[in-house]
Amino acid sequence: MKIIAITSTTIIPKDGTYSVARLDVCPDITGVIHYVGHPATKTIVESKGAVQALSKLFLGLEVGESMICFAIKQGMSNRSQGGTAANQEVSEDMLEIRAVTRLA
């Protein structure tokens, strides 16, 4: 798996065929660029070695590339009040880790 990005949600700006898989263990993301804005989630991914991108715009995956998504588990965010609040505390056990790979 060629991991090129870390996000807090699945972002697919390019048409193609993708594989999405839930991961039980976080892969090594040391030095991988991240596009996470939520402060608590950002702290978690940076503690695992991810580095903040210079831009907030993720351009997408090329064929063969993967991104790792750290999304707050369903029912654990405060989205029902209008979106996940920037000040919502999040722990690692509240996150689902998914690998998204562009196949074609």
Q: What CATH number has the domain bearing residue 28?
A: 3.40.50.11170
Where does the pLDDT of residue 85 fall: very low under 50, low under 70, confident under 90, or very high at 90 and above? low
Where does the pLDDT of residue 44 fall: very low under 50, low under 70, confident under 90, or very high at 90 and above? very high
The structure tokens listed for 67 are 């991104």
Which pLDDT score, from 0 to 100, does residue 21 have? 97
Range(s) of the domain holding residue 6: 2-102
What pTM was estimated for this model as a whole? 0.85
Q: How many helices (H) and strands (E) does the chain have?
A: 1, 6
C-alpha torsion angle, residues 19, 22, 25, 28 (rounded to 10): 30
Where does the pLDDT of residue 94 fall: very low under 50, low under 70, confident under 90, or very high at 90 and above? confident
% of the chain exceeding 90 in pLDDT: 67
Number of domains forming the structure of the chain = 1
The structure tokens listed for 57 are 């715009």
Q: From 81, 93, 80, select the one nearest 41 (Cα to Cα).
A: 93
Residue 25: HSE in the Cβ half-sphere, 13 Å Cα cutoff:
2
